[in-house]
């Protein structure tokens, strides 16, 4: 037995093995294509819409909504974005390590001295939701010298009941921060709760209420001599009401080419930046009455040609989409049938005879005149397009085109 093991080890360690044989084609199975030029174009259109006086923050959290953190950040800045927004400390550090030197705001709460100290080390701007973290920042910043100023943003809750200090506490916290020698309040912001749930004949009473609360806060802080950057609008708020723009807007979903509500409400045409593709790995012809996949949720009603496609719910194609979606091959749509499994799904391709093993299937994105959007998928599962985009796993290679 030991002799056999030694022989195996000798084989794998042999210099006769060509290292190039270990390189796998990223399009061998399933992959994501990211159009960085589309992201730049979308950023440019949004920047033109909001005007030069309003700053554009590109929100690149969650690995750039699944598109690739650094790819999206560079493309957005090239398109005119002024700064970047991330959710986690590591995302901010990753951008700095990639060589980006613009302002980066951490949108999540940091609660430890160690994490807030890393913001200083990496020149990242933390979000504060209370006086506790402000005091920690002051203590950390004064250790860097009397002249050092640590920039922070204060988040205020105007109706989200998530992050942010209570609205009535905000003036006190601002006053307290202003007394610190080593902390500079660079921005005050809030977040809209219902801006994406808009009806064409009614902008939304609650969004208007949030705007009024934010306006009141701005008035309460108007006597300050130091300038603050005020920001409230996400993609939905930015595109539906210019009165929500203030000094800066935070753009996420629209940057990636998707609407947070009905396309007819968009003031511009956005270009989707992501496509999800996979290959046909097997074609089989079956008779009428054959059950397909786990549970036999689909039974053929005629002689049927099936294409097995190498992508499944472990890649981010939710099992809840089983039997509900269509995929495109050469610009023609084919229904997905049976249960979507961990690594594979099946299409009914009976009506097209020239599909072959190795043919490329487009599940999301544009294929000739066909365009399949995350909004379409989310409407079928009770989800949202944000979740669809962020759900694609990293075993799908991201290819920048």
- 239, 241, 242, 243 alpha-carbon torsion, rounded to 10°: -150
Tally of CB atoms within 10 A around 328: 23
Which residues, in sequence order, are bridge partners of residue 150?
183
75/400 Cα distance (integer angstroms) = 11
316/98 Cα distance (integer angstroms) = 27
What is the set of active-site residues?
A: 61, 294
Q: How far is CA 28 from the centre of its chain?
A: 25
C-beta separation of 270 from 258 below 8 A: yes
C-beta separation of 314 from 395 below 8 A: yes
Pairing verdict, β 291-292 and 274-286: unpaired
C-beta separation of 263 from 33 below 8 A: no
Tally of CB atoms within 10 A around 48: 11
177/146 Cα distance (integer angstroms) = 16
Burial call 255-282: b when 16+ CB within 10 Å, e when fewer: bbbbbbbeeeeeeeebbbbbbbbbbbbe
C-beta separation of 207 from 190 below 8 A: no
Pairing verdict, β 165-166 and 150-157: parallel
176 Cβ contact list (under 8 Å, min separation 6): 131, 134
Q: Is 298 helix (H, G, I), strand (E, B) or coil?
A: strand
259 closest CA partner among 204, 195, 334, 332: 195
103 Cβ contact list (under 8 Å, min separation 6): 82, 83, 84, 125
């Amino acid at each position: 037995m030991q002799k056999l093991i030694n022989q195996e080890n000798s084989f794998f360690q042999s210099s006769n093995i060509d290292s190039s044989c270990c390189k796998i084609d990223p399009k061998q199975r399933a992959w994501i294509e990211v159009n960085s030029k589309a992201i730049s174009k979308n950023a440019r259109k949004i920047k033109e819409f909001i005007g030069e006086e309003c700053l554009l923050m590109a929100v690149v959290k969650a690995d750039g909504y699944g598109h690739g953190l650094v790819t999206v950040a560079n493309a957005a800045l090239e398109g005119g974005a002024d700064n970047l927004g991330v959710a986690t400390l590591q995302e901010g550090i990753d951008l700095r390590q990639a060589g980006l030197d613009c302002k980066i705001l951490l949108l999540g709460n940091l609660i430890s001295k160690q994490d807030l100290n890393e913001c200083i080390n990496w020149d990242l701007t933390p979000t504060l939701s209370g006086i506790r973290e402000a005091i920690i920042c002051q203590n950390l910043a004064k250790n860097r010298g009397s002249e050092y100023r640590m920039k922070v943003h204060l988040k205020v809750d105007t109706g989200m009941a998530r992050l942010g200090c209570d609205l009535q506490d905000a003036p006190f916290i601002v006053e307290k921060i202003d007394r610190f020698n080593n902390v500079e309040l660079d921005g005050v912001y809030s977040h809209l709760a219902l801006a994406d749930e808009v009806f064409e004949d009614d902008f939304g009473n609650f969004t208007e209420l949030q705007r009024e609360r934010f306006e009141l806060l701005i008035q309460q802080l108007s006597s300050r001599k130091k300038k603050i950057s005020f920001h409230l609008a996400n993609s939905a708020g930015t595109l539906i009401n210019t009165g929500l723009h203030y000094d800066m807007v935070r753009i996420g979903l629209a940057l990636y080419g998707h609407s947070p509500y009905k396309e007819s409400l968009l003031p511009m045409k956005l270009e989707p930046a992501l496509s999800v593709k996979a290959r046909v790995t097997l074609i089989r012809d079956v008779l009428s009455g054959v059950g397909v996949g786990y549970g036999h949720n689909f039974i053929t009603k005629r002689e049927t040609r099936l294409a097995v496609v190498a992508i499944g719910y472990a890649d981010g194609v939710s099992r809840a989409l089983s039997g509900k979606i269509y995929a495109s091959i050469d610009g023609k749509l084919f229904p997905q049938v049976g249960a979507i499994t961990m690594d594979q799904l099946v299409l009914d391709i009976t009506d097209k005879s020239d599909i072959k093993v190795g043919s490329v299937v487009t599940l999301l994105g544009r294929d000739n005149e066909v365009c399949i959007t995350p909004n379409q998928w989310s409407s079928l599962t009770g989800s949202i397009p944000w979740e669809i985009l962020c759900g694609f796993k990293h075993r799908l290679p991201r290819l920048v085109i």
